[in-house]
Chains A and B, each alone.
Chain A
Amino acid sequence: MQVQDLVTIIPWNFIATICNLFIQIYLIKRFLFKPVNEVLAKRKSLADAQISDAVKTNDEAKALKAQYEQDMLAAKQRASEILSTAQKNAQIQSEELVREANAQAAAIKAKAENDIAQEKRKAVNEIKDEIGGMAVEIAGKVIERELNENDHAKLIDEFIASVGEA
């Protein structure tokens, strides 16, 4: 078999090598760089999208938090308002209740005193009537025995005086 010289430049080999190199450039570009760069670009865009998404979510969360804090503050204010109003109302109500109770108690007391006085008066009158009756009876009895005008008058006076004291 024929061989080339060891150190020589064969024009056809030279041309073939140039063609081969350009073919290789195309093939390596088509089968390695294009798909891999596509994937890298895709991954990069995905990462970018995720980052911007995260930033957006973060912003939203911050806005939400601010809103929430504001709401919380308002709610607290409202609660304390309600509480103080309630306290005020309760105080007013309790004062009113006490006043009413006092008034009722006073009314009851006055009525009771009135009743007592009336009862007393009634009792005194009754007693006076009874004493009158008794006096008549006693007088009858004394008359039965011996009617002493002086004794009689003295007795009645004594009775009436003692009853008036009672």
Chain B
Amino acid sequence: MNVDISGAKIFYTFPFDFPILGKLSISETMVVSWIVIAVITGLCIWLTRDLKVENISKRQALAEMIVDTANHFVIGNMGEKFSYMIPFVSALFATSVVSNLISLIGLRSPTADLSTEAAWAVIVFILITYQKIKAGGVGGYLKGFTQPIPLLTPFNILSELATPISMACRHFGNILSGLVIDTLIYGALAVASSALLGLIPGIVGNVLSKIPILSVGVPAITGVYFDWFSGCMQAFIFCMLTTMYIANAAEG
């Protein structure tokens, strides 16, 4: 049995070195995330093709339902004044879901790379901090760390930093574990089918045992949880936390 669980492939590395950032390399994560952007944008264009005011098509009804759901989600969680956050939260959710589910067609999820989630979490962290400073001023923001007693300042700073880290690691961990489990299941099923079909004597058994027949079908069932459910759930949780944290930050 030969199971290989590794990080994203690096397709090409530019030969020159950047300071701090290191060598620029085109990785699987980047390429698949471009595909994700293309998929989402294509879907948006397809959904909003030929919009009408009356007598709408099912496609348009779906588009309107998505927009309506996004509006309600953001305004319900954050209030009317954050309606400018709707495209941000929607883009985050769409990218997350499509990235998580793109593993179903055999591509490596960009979300199975911690860099992706870290980037999202940092943006969310910046937004949280911006809202806090906007609500209480720089002084108020810094003073917030010494509440309720100055002794707790280090812990407050830790808890502040823990927010993006926990968000990123929660999402990453779930997707990576899905990937690991899928890989393990595929490996195990290949071993199981070769052992099972190897029982058939003669050349037939030899040939059939090379084909992982059990790998067809069974991963689809386990994938319902590890890919579909987990993927949608993590995207939802990430967006939920984003809206909650930012709305809380604005309240001061």
Contact = CB atoms under 8 A, between A and B. Distances in A.
B40 A27 contact: yes
Contact of B21 (A2, A6, A15): A15
A91 interface: no
Given A20-B95, A27-B40, A32-B48, A46 B64 contact: no
Interface stretch (B115-123, B197-205, B233-241): B115-123
Report whether over half of chain A's contact residues are helix, strand or loop; otherwise say mixed: helix
A14 B119 contact: yes
Interface stretch (B25-33, B134-142, B217-225): B25-33
B7 A4 contact: yes
Interface in B6-56: 6-11, 13, 20-22, 24-25, 27, 29-30, 33-34, 36-37, 40-41, 44-45, 47-48, 51-54
Contacts, number: 151
A35 interface: yes
Contact of A32 (B47, B88, B119): B47
B114 A7 contact: yes
Interface string A39-65: 110110010000000000000000000
Most A Cβ at <10 Å: residue of B27, B63, B113, B172: B113
Contacts of B48: 31-32, 35-36
Interface string B97-117: 000000000000010011110
Interface residues of B, number: 56
Contacts of B63: 32, 36
Contacts of B20: 11
A14 B90 CA distance: 20
A7 B47 CA distance: 36
A5 interface: yes
B86 to A, nearest CB: 7
Nearest to B4: A3
B176 A12 contact: no
B115 A10 contact: yes
Nearest to A25: B91
A8 B114 contact: yes
A67 interface: no
Contacts of A7: 7, 114, 172, 176
Nearest to B38: A27
Interface string A8-22: 111111111110110
A11 B114 contact: no
Interface string A108-132: 0000000000000000000000000
Interface of A: 1-18, 20-21, 23-25, 27-29, 31-33, 35-40, 42-43, 46
5 contacts: A21-B95, A24-B91, A25-B91, A36-B63, A39-B52
Given A3-B6, A12-B25, 15 more contacts: A1-B10, A3-B8, A3-B9, A8-B7, A10-B25, A11-B22, A13-B115, A13-B119, A14-B115, A15-B21, A18-B123, A28-B87, A31-B41, A36-B67, A46-B54
